[in-house]
Amino acid sequence: MTVTDTNKTIKFRSWLQFLSAVAGIILVASASPLIRFRFDLTEDKRYTLSDPTRKVLSGLKNDIYFQVYLDGEMPIPLKRLKRSVREMLDEFRIASGRKIDYEFINPAEGSNVQQRNAQFQVLENKGLNPVDIRAGDAEGGSTQKIIFPGMIVNYNGIEVPVNFLKNNPSIPYEQNILHSVEGLEYEMIQTIATLSSDTIYKVAFIEGHDEIPEIETADITINLAKFFTIDRGIIGGKPGILDNYAAIVIAGPEKEFNESDKLVLDQYIMNGGRVMWLFDEVAVNSDSLVFGETVGLYRPLNIEDQLFRYGARVNPAIVQDLECMKIRLTVMSGGTRQQVVPAPWVYYPLLNPAANHSITRNLNRVKGKFTNYIDTVGLDPTIRKTILLATSNFSRTLSPPLMISLKEAELTPDEKDFNKSNLPVAVLLEGVFPSAFKNRMVSNLTDDKNLKVKTESSKTKMIVIADADIIRNEVRRVGLEETPYPLGLDKYTGEVFGNRDFLINCLNYLVDDNGIMELRSRELKLRLLNSAKIKAEKFKWQLINIAGPIIIVIIAGLLYSYFRRRYYTRY
């Protein structure tokens, strides 16, 4: 073989290799949209969607568009949150068959302050909560910025806000970001499931027993309306009147229930109905405190025997807790001058959510007001009891009748007197319940002569809360105009407690049969960098990150040149 033939052979092989490589690249590029391989190699499976999520996404019939207002300059932790949101949306997009699209928007964009403020007001009106971020720098300075860590979900012309940043002031900032990441899948899929569902569950607020007025439950009603159809009405002793409701709410009754209404409630539960009970056994007139004192009196509601059969008893006793809210107290200064100062008020406990349940995981503390406490009763193995809210380790109880005076706030409580701990205030009951009307004559309680009393329930659940004020929002009254404050808001400090989120989670859990609420139990590990080590080894890692890639490219180029020269010098 001549040298010319050898050169032609080499050129032919080179061109063949080149064309093969190009054909391979084209083939892989063409096949990649059709074949998807996704592997989650993380220890806590943070990129793996749950089965309920995949089920909801695979059943989507129409496109969903997300407007995420988390863009622009922001602290590093929020950038990590942004990355997690983007990754979750990408996973949703693939699982839904490309029916999900999204856009990240900087809400602070605008040519002037007026435009930015107008945009901020629009987002607030849509339901997104602003957060004031103060970020420090290495020189000791700080910057302040308003962000809206949330999204607007658009589906068939309907817009629903989703706030995904947890803002619990009792835990570190990094922990809040982690909790936000943990809750992303739930917050997003719960909204998608509600918007895309063919069935909208109905929830009823029961009236007729002097329950909390509608204006004082307006905030929770508005927020529950994002998930359910909300009605209000009187039972009227009519069996079956509640059958079309997935759940009912009994919020702060003050009048006794008659036996006919109790029968309706009992048979509703026996047929699988879900109930959220919120009531107090001790009546306290808070309005009288403007005069300096009020009284607490025992007030039975004639539902005690019924709840006892279901496994719970609300005790007629007021809870005092050293971990409590502060009230504004007017005191004398210098003998003649009045001064308003914040003072701990042990009658307004800050309740601790259970850390290990999907309803209460990662929630802010819940504020109570003249709270009672609950005992779980009975040994029925078919009923599972879970404490959702409890007092702190420094509590005590007072039995009625009792006088309550604002002067108590001026005294320093003795810690030795607060010798009770973790008193249950909210309890979840799940299982099969016995009827409170078993072996009882009911013909005189209803006009329905064909009613057959069911003595054992289908598998169902209920939540008992020994403080009706947990659901009560404050109201701003100016003349005849009434404006509800956000539920859980302390209007003096601006701090927002977990009341609203707790109650929404309770209702979602009661009606959830698909396991979506269990996503709130997801736990990710917090892996923080060592700040001291970062400062000490800063130069070393900067050198590795800057010079390292350049050195690798140079070495790769030299090796390629060496092996190429060696290969072609063989001929």
Question: Would you state the pLDDT for residue 311?
Answer: 93
Are 302 and 419 found together in one domain?
yes
Are 130 and 252 found together in one domain?
no
Most confident of 95-109, 190-204, 388-402, 446-460: 388-402
CA distance 223 to 217: 10
Q: Mean of the pLDDT values across residues 106-117?
A: 80
Question: Would you state the pLDDT for residue 306?
Answer: 94
Confidence class for position 143, pLDDT limits 50, 70, 90 = low
Exposed, middle or buried: residue 536 (CB in 10 Å: 0-12, 13-18, 19+)?
A: exposed
Q: What helix, strand, coil percent values describe the chain, rounded to 5?
A: 35, 25, 40
- CB distance 68 to 31 below 8 Å: no
Question: Would you state the pLDDT for residue 138?
Answer: 53
Our measurement of the distance from residue 129's CA atom to the centroid of its chain's CA atoms, rounded to an integer in Å, reads 14
Question: Would you state the pLDDT for residue 263?
Answer: 93
Q: Mean of the pLDDT values across residues 210-239?
A: 92
280-329 confidence digits (pLDDT tens): 999 998 888 888 889 999 999 999 999 999 999 999 999 999 999 988 88
Determine what percent of the chain is predicted with pLDDT higher than 90. Answer: 37
CA distance 337 to 334: 6
Boundary residue ending a domain (139, 173, 194)? 194
CA torsion sign for 469, 166, 42, 71 is positive
Are 167 and 233 found together in one domain?
no
Per-position DSSP letters for 206-236, written without gaps between them = EESS-PPPGGGGHHHHHHHTTTSEEEEEE-T
CA distance 213 to 481: 15
389-405 confidence digits (pLDDT tens): 999 999 999 999 999 99
Are 120 and 216 found together in one domain?
no
Does 382 fall in a domain? yes
Per-position DSSP letters for 409-468, written without gaps between them = GGS---GGG--B---EEEEEEEE--B-TTTT---TTT-S-TT-----BPPSEEEEEES-G
Query: In this structure, what token pair is assigned to residue 236?
Result: 């009227």
CA distance 522 to 100: 23
Question: Would you state the pLDDT for residue 13?
Answer: 72
520-541 confidence digits (pLDDT tens): 656 555 555 666 777 777 778 7
Question: Would you state the pLDDT for residue 554?
Answer: 87
CA distance 533 to 224: 47
CA torsion sign for 301, 205, 260, 462 is negative
Question: Would you state the pLDDT for residue 202?
Answer: 93
Kind plus residue range of the DSSP H or E element containing 15: helix 3-31
- CB distance 149 to 176 below 8 Å: no
Question: Would you state the pLDDT for residue 520?
Answer: 65
Does 294 fall in a domain? yes
Does 540 fall in a domain? no
Boundary residue ending a domain (498, 513, 528)? 513
Does 525 fall in a domain? no
Are 133 and 212 found together in one domain?
no
Are 235 and 210 found together in one domain?
yes
Higher pLDDT pick, 278 / 337: 278
Are 153 and 279 found together in one domain?
no
CA distance 163 to 498: 14
Question: Would you state the pLDDT for residue 9?
Answer: 67
Lowest mean pLDDT among 160-169, 242-251, 360-369: 160-169
CATH code of the domain covering residue 216: 3.40.50.880
Question: Would you state the pLDDT for residue 95?
Answer: 87
Does 531 fall in a domain? no
Domains: count for the chain: 2
CATH code of the domain covering residue 74: 3.40.30
The two most distant CA atoms of the chain are separated, in Å, by: 118
Over 90: is that where the pLDDT of 56 sits? no
Amino acid letter for position 454: K
Boundary residue ending a domain (194, 221, 248)? 194
Question: Would you state the pLDDT for residue 310?
Answer: 94
Are 157 and 246 found together in one domain?
no
Contacts of 236 (CB under 8 A, 6+ apart): 208, 261
Question: Would you state the pLDDT for residue 562?
Answer: 80
- CB distance 70 to 80 below 8 Å: no
Contacts made by residues 82-85, CB under 8 angstroms, sequence distance 24+: 84/181, 84/184, 85/151, 85/164, 85/184
Q: Whose CA is closest to 319, among 426, 431, 458?
A: 426
Are 174 and 273 found together in one domain?
no
Q: 147 to each of 65, 73, 120, 163, how far by Cα in Å?
A: 21, 10, 9, 12
- CB distance 132 to 98 below 8 Å: no
Q: Mean of the pLDDT values across residues 149-175?
A: 81
Over 70: is that where the pLDDT of 79 sits? yes
Peptide bond into 401 cis (omega under 30): yes
Are 231 and 371 found together in one domain?
yes
Question: Would you state the pLDDT for residue 34?
Answer: 53
Lowest mean pLDDT among 274-278, 484-488, 522-526, 532-536: 522-526
Does 3 fall in a domain? no
Does 18 fall in a domain? no
Radius of gyration of the chain measured on its C-alpha atoms: 31
Does 31 fall in a domain? no
Confidence class for position 376, pLDDT limits 50, 70, 90 = very high
Q: Whose CA is closest to 374, among 327, 428, 306?
A: 428
Are 213 and 105 found together in one domain?
no
Per-position DSSP letters for 40-68, written without gaps between them = ---TT-TT---HHHHHHHHT--S-EEEEE
- CB distance 101 to 67 below 8 Å: no
- The overall average pLDDT reported for the chain is 84
Over 80: is that where the pLDDT of 480 sits? yes
- CB distance 433 to 310 below 8 Å: yes
Q: 100 to each of 191, 198, 502, how far by Cα in Å?
A: 13, 19, 29
Q: Mean of the pLDDT values across residues 24-34?
A: 68
Question: Would you state the pLDDT for residue 499?
Answer: 93
Over 80: is that where the pLDDT of 29 sits? no
Q: Whose CA is closest to 466, among 555, 377, 374, 547?
A: 374
Are 174 and 56 found together in one domain?
yes
The single residue listed with the structure tokens 């793996």 is: 48
Higher pLDDT pick, 17 / 95: 95
Q: Mean of the pLDDT values across residues 483-509?
A: 89
Domain that includes residue 272, residue range: 202-513
Q: Mean of the pLDDT values across residues 448-462?
A: 88
**What pTM was estimated for this model as a whole?**
0.79
The single residue listed with the structure tokens 């209000």 is: 232
